[in-house]
Amino acid sequence: MTHIPRAHSVDAADPVYQALVGRIDIMLDGKLQQHVTAYDMDAGYVVRAVLDDEGRMQANAERDALLVEQVTGRVEVRQRHSAAN
């Protein structure tokens, strides 16, 4: 992948959805983010799964969807170059 989109979502119904080829790292205020479902570098937000104290993703009360949170800050996205792609 040579072009990293300024905004992206894993939800194909989202207007900023783009099929990505390759792996990316998403940073918020310099910290690597995990379980990201969407980001927007220009608007300055990341949507990520809510984790419990042990780092497990949390589901809603009906247990049919993940809980997510939108957090704001300086968003940077870079292509991952590690051998563990």
pLDDT at 82: 64
List, for residues 24-83, the tens digit of each pLDDT value.
999 999 999 999 999 999 999 999 999 999 999 999 999 999 999 999 999 999 988 765
Contacts of range 22-25, beta carbons closer than 8 Å, 24 or more positions apart? 22/79, 22/80, 22/85, 23/79, 23/80, 23/85, 24/77, 24/78, 24/79, 24/80, 25/77, 25/78, 25/79, 25/80
Contact 41, 6 (CB under 8 A): yes
Q: Taking the domains of the chain in order of start, what are their residue ranges?
A: 7-77
Whole-model pTM: value is 0.84
